[in-house]
Amino acid sequence: MFNKKNILVTGGTGSFGSFLVQYLAENYQPNKIIIYSRDELKQYELQNKEFVKKNKKIFRFFIGDIRDKDRLNFAFKNNIDYVFHAAALKQVPAAEYNPFEAIKTNIIGSQNIIDAAIANNVKKTIALSTDKASSPINLYGATKLVSDKLFVAANNFKNNDSIFSVVRYGNVMGSRGSVIPHFLSKKDSNQLEITDTRMTRFNITLKEGVEFVIKCLSKSLGGEVFVPKIPSYKITDIAKAIAPKAKLKIIGIRPGEKIHEEMISSSEGMNTFEFKDYFIIFPQSQDISWGMKEFNKIHNGEKFQKKEYGFSYQSQNNKDFLSLDQIKNLIKKESYK
């Protein structure tokens, strides 16, 4: 799918973006990969990675912010075929304290990407969302929900063949700011801070996330929200796996934080189709141009079922929970420092 194609990745120097561009370079033969991000230090560090040096002819590094529509549009004027939108302000406390900054990046920036994709005839654009966009209680989740709505609705108003879709999933294991690197940094202190012992989270590795997003891009018709079936874990089990002898200090839930994660709300459930390894939340708009015949064709006859009203997908009710041994093995496998 990506052979001899031009690809642009926003947030291309982040945890997801940098892993994605490496995966694309090592598993496909793209003509060009544009890494679009605003941090010149991270770009410099990425340029010095061995996989970039090995494939330096295909990489282009654009310093730019998705808030800057002119700069973004300039980057898109490279005959772009596919866009992966991974740029966001995602730290919950920072968004609560700096609300309009999150709005400018996560909402206005997303609309800028949509506009640039349509103006430059991009074939497909897929946006990364978050569990926090489902029934949001914090500003970050609210801005990502608006972004999701923008990308779904973009399929109604486009004047060409551009396709827009969304992928929504939970915590990426070990990503910047997540609990595992934090616990690992504190494991020798004999005390770990826990916000709430009841807390559960969904879990996905970077590799799983990248492979799922690529799969969704290939299957997208426009307007879908893709949700992977992934395991959950208990926050107390993460603590036990990392520092079994450490005492737990309960510090209380932070502003805007949930005890449990939700990736499909009960309101979205009636528009949800379940496949073996993932769900698709159908667009509610009647203006989406494709029908079930096209849907069945692109999904190669996979079996699926429409969920009943009231269905939701939440971390505490998940059928698949990671055991202590599984958590230990994943941490070891992911080579966290």
The overall average pLDDT reported for the chain is 93
The residue that leads in pLDDT, 2 or 291, is 2
Distances (CA, A) of 264 to 23, 24, 158, 244, 307: 28, 29, 27, 33, 11
User: What local confidence, expressed as pLDDT, does residue 337 receive?
Assistant: 43
The whole-angstrom separation of Cα 236 and Cα 243 is: 10
Tokens representing 286? 């009647």
Tokens representing 85? 């939108």
Compute the residue count for the chain: 337
> What pLDDT band is residue 178 in, cutting at 50, 70 and 90?
confident
| pLDDT at 334 exceeding the cut of 80 | no
Residue pair 122/217 in contact by the 8 Å Cβ criterion: no
The arithmetic mean of pLDDT across residues 223-250, rounded, is 96
> What pLDDT band is residue 301 in, cutting at 50, 70 and 90?
confident
User: What local confidence, expressed as pLDDT, does residue 203 receive?
Assistant: 94
Residue pair 265/299 in contact by the 8 Å Cβ criterion: no
Tokens representing 264? 């499909």
66-92 pLDDT tens trace: 999 999 999 999 899 999 999 999 999
The arithmetic mean of pLDDT across residues 202-220, rounded, is 96
Cβ-count burial of 276 within 10 angstroms (0-12 exposed, 13-18 middle, 19+ buried)? exposed
Catalytic site residue from 132, 229, 258, 307: 132
CATH superfamily of 88-170+204-230+262-313: NAD(P)-binding Rossmann-like Domain (3.40.50.720)
The arithmetic mean of pLDDT across residues 207-234, rounded, is 97
Give the β-pairing of 191-194 and 163-167. unpaired
> What pLDDT band is residue 287 in, cutting at 50, 70 and 90?
low
The arithmetic mean of pLDDT across residues 112-118, rounded, is 97
The arithmetic mean of pLDDT across residues 197-214, rounded, is 96
Which has the minimum average pLDDT: 50-59, 85-94, 174-183, 202-211? 174-183
Which residues, including other chains, have CB under 8 Å from residue 140's CB and lie 6 or more apart?
89, 90, 91, 92, 95, 96, 102, 106, 130, 132, 256
Coil/strand/helix, residue 300: coil
Tokens representing 190? 């004999």
DSSP state of 189: G
6-50 pLDDT tens trace: 999 999 999 999 999 999 999 999 999 999 999 999 999 999 999
Place of tokens 């500003």: 139
56-65 pLDDT tens trace: 999 999 999 9
Residue pair 208/264 in contact by the 8 Å Cβ criterion: no
Residue pair 150/158 in contact by the 8 Å Cβ criterion: no
Domain boundaries, the chain: 88-170+204-230+262-313
Which residues, including other chains, have CB under 8 Å from residue 71's CB and lie 6 or more apart?
62, 64, 65
| pLDDT at 177 exceeding the cut of 70 | no
Q: At what angle do helices 206-219 and 15-27 cross, to 10 degrees?
A: 70
Residue pair 273/327 in contact by the 8 Å Cβ criterion: no
Which has the minimum average pLDDT: 98-102, 236-240, 280-284? 280-284
> What pLDDT band is residue 289 in, cutting at 50, 70 and 90?
confident
Cβ-count burial of 304 within 10 angstroms (0-12 exposed, 13-18 middle, 19+ buried)? middle
Whether the pTM exceeds 0.85: the reply is yes
261-286 pLDDT tens trace: 999 999 999 999 999 999 999 987 65
User: What local confidence, expressed as pLDDT, does residue 211 receive?
Assistant: 98
Active-site residue flag, 4: no
> What pLDDT band is residue 158 in, cutting at 50, 70 and 90?
low
